[in-house]
Amino acid sequence: MKKVLCIVVTYNRLDCLKECLTALKAQTFKDFDILIINNGSTDGTADYLDNQKDLFVITQENLGSSGGQYSGMKYGYDHGYEWLWHMDDDGHPAPNQLEELLRFETESWYLNALVIDKDNHTQFSFPPHDKSMTISLIQQQSIIRNFVHPFNGTLYNRKLVEKIGMIKKETFIWGDEKEYTARAVKAGIVPVTVTSAVHYHPREKAVKVYPIPFWHHPLTEVLLKPEKMSHYYYRNLGYIDATYRTRLKSAKLVLIHTIYFLRTMKFSEMRKFYHYYFAGRKNNYE
């Protein structure tokens, strides 16, 4: 049995999947297997994967990012892999990413690549709150503790799974990675980004707004998701708040969202926020 299993979750992005697979097959570290979780794609992905003989494939209904990552993690753990290397189909690793991650395998059970905008390699895919932080500055250090962007070249040791369990598959999207990271930190695990291990990913599309004029602080930030699927985000936010954050921080978050919805007169979205946020706080995922 090989030491590392790479898990790629895909849904209706065949061109992206092909780009990711090309990058995986070009890795300088060769001793790993590839598992594709096909979340019920309808764009020809299934036919393409049928013709790939050097991959493992699980085809399932669309269970979202969390359902896909859960299936991959469970497969890897059940089949005895030591390291589980997670990513989605829209990003791809630099050629030496896995080699660089494994160089630091004694640092943590939770290692992540440095996630860079695939269209502009001088920018982060997910801009940090500290605007003074640049890629060149961060790469002056070999590792950064407590700074990760999960499921983008993320390497989990099976000991982490033994300690904290599997990914919360019910979250579907927008929160699965945050919940798993918060659970790891709560268990005393320090997530680590290896700055020489690079993962290329599209720049974050979510819009951040600040409902209170002239007060631009992370605690006053509202992250806007497409309203068609925003209920997933609200529900997961409620669960994470209730499980890992203080009541004061949770109260501030609810207040800031309420101010935003009132100022923009998005009353139906405000009702949706309250319904799903408080369902999440009760771990109600039915």
* Mean pLDDT value of segment 189-199: 98
Residues in the chain, how many?
Answer: 286
Average pLDDT across the chain, whole number:
95
- On the 0-12 / 13-18 / 19+ scale of CB atoms within 10 A, 47 is exposed
* Mean pLDDT value of segment 145-155: 96
Per-residue pLDDT, 216: 78
Distances (CA, A) of 166 to 69, 77, 126, 175: 9, 9, 25, 14
Per-residue pLDDT, 245: 95
Whether the pLDDT of residue 180 is over 60: the answer is: yes
Higher-confidence position of 74 and 216: 74
Higher-confidence position of 7 and 2: 7
Query: Could you write out the DSSP letters of every residue in 214-279?
Result: T---GGG-EEE--TTTHHHHHHHHHHHHHHHS-HHHHHHHHHHHHHHHHHHT-HHHHHHHHHHHHH
Whether the pLDDT of residue 131 is over 80: the answer is: no
Per-residue pLDDT, 127: 83
* Mean pLDDT value of segment 208-230: 87
Per-residue pLDDT, 2: 64
Higher-confidence position of 1 and 178: 178
pTM: 0.95
Angle between helices 247-264 and 230-244 (to 10 degrees): 150
Alpha carbons 117 and 200: distance in angstroms, whole number: 6
Whether the pLDDT of residue 1 is over 50: the answer is: no
pLDDT in tens, 44-96: 999 999 999 899 999 999 999 999 999 999 999 999 999 999 999 999 999 99
First to last CA, the chain: 38
Residues 6 or more apart from 73 whose CB is under 8 A from it?
7, 84, 86, 156, 161, 166, 167
Whether the pLDDT of residue 279 is over 60: the answer is: yes
Q: What percent of the chain has a predicted confidence (pLDDT) above 90? A: 90
* Mean pLDDT value of segment 37-43: 97
Q: Which of 232, 272, 237 is nearest to 252 (CA)?
A: 237
* Mean pLDDT value of segment 108-125: 96
Beta pairing partners, 194: 113, 143
- Six token digits for residue 252: 């501030």
Query: Could you write out the DSSP letters of every residue in 141-170?
Result: SSEEET---TTEEEEEEHHHHHHH-S--GG
The CA angle 20-58-32, to the nearest 5 degrees, is: 50
